Amino acid sequence: MAYDVVVLPGDGIGIEVTDSGVAVLRAVAAAVGLEVDLEFLDAGAGAYQRTGVAIAEPVMAAVGRADAVLFGAMGLPDVRREDGTEITPQLDIRERYDLVAGVRPSTLLPGIDPVLYARDIDFVVVRESTEGLFAGRRDPRSADPDVEHDRMTITRATSETLFDIAFSLAAARREAGHAGRVTLFDKANVLKSQAFLRTVFDEVAARHPDVETERVYVDAGVMMMVREPERFDVVVMENMFGDIVSDLAAGITGGLGLAPSGDIGRDHAVFQPCHGSAPDIAGLDVANPVGMILSVAMMLDWLGDRHDDGRCLKAAARVRAAVGAALSAGVRTRDIGGTASTSEVTAAVVAAL
């Protein structure tokens, strides 16, 4: 079968790293006999400036029809709505298609100098991505000019989906030789919404008695993540906590330029690097494309699992091996201590496929 993939390059360096990801995808697809049809569409802050709409309904509908979506980066710091917030179509997509789980691997890759003493870092942050402290982002502003509010909403249905994905991921990682443990980061000792989240976690955990679990307050958890990152395997949490913790997890393994992610629901998925649009370096051919290239690998793994397609799984493994080979050979962008350009890293990965 042919896979229909919608590509949303977006803004800033999103455009450049998307070009890199597409080049690698096309090369590996040809190598393993995989047919991928790409549809490039416009959305983001640039689209908002041109049309007044950040993501048009036909684009949003195409996202829903696609087998998967590759997403570059969206938003520009000087393009904002009337309420002062940035343009964030990625949040609209997550909410529209119930992309509940933001899956963000944190792995110390070959050729990358350790930030910490630990040399064996390999865990996954699973961030709830549609509610939590982001739930009220469309709420009206306060009528009191001296007070503003945001709300945290936790629902059973969303939390159960989130935890089902986390436990499934842990089971798959255990089969691959990892610990297969799920850790919940929360603040259940203070916030009633977080206490409810822990209750739902306990209920889902009871359905997976073969999977080891632990519950850790988020403030203690981030300290442990720095001091002993090797203790973690799958770490799951609320939206805002996950937004912060996933960046910390990227930092301890070399930075956001290396960090891939997938926004995953029961029926749809979007794959993108964890970094933003970085307009200050856009167009300079210096952005690190590895996060996007590894997001391509995540997409291929997801398609392979979903459609029982060994070609996709083989392609994903080849992409990861090629990234490791390029980095080990010293082909690195300046954010990770190298001198290579975006184009040079991309070419090295393609050559290693």
CB neighbours of 301 closer than 8 A, spacing ≥ 6?
Answer: 312, 313, 316
Q: What is the pTM of this model?
A: 0.94
Q: Which residue has the tokens 């963000």?
A: 104
The CATH number of the domain covering residues in 1-107+257-353:
3.40.718.10
How remote is the C-alpha of 165 from its chain's centroid? 14
- Is residue 291 exposed (0-12), middle (13-18) or buried (19+ Cβ within 10 Å)? buried
pLDDT of residue 221: 98
pLDDT digit string (tens) for the chain, length 353 residues = 899 999 999 999 999 999 999 999 999 999 999 999 999 999 999 999 999 999 999 999 999 999 999 999 998 888 887 777 777 889 999 999 999 999 999 999 999 998 888 888 999 999 999 999 988 888 888 899 999 988 999 999 999 999 999 999 999 999 999 999 999 999 999 999 999 999 999 999 999 999 999 999 999 999 999 999 999 999 999 999 999 999 999 999 999 999 999 999 999 999 999 999 999 999 999 999 999 999 999 999 999 999 999 999 999 999 999 999 999 999 999 999 999 999 999 999 999 99
b/e sequence 138-148, b meaning 16+ C-beta within 10 Å: eeeeeeeeeee
The CATH number of the domain covering residues in 114-253:
3.40.718.10
Side-chain half-sphere CA neighbours of 242 within 13 A: 29
pLDDT of residue 156: 98
Nearest CA among 111, 120, 168 for reference residue 349: 111
Contact 302, 269 (CB under 8 A): yes
pLDDT of residue 263: 97
pLDDT of residue 289: 98
Which of the 8 DSSP states describes residue 132? Answer: B
**According to CATH, where is 3.40.718.10 located in the chain?**
1-107+257-353, 114-253
Q: In what order do the strands lie in the sheet with 260-264?
A: 35-40, 2-10, 68-73, 269-273, 260-264, 101-107, 122-128, 234-237, 182-186, 213-217
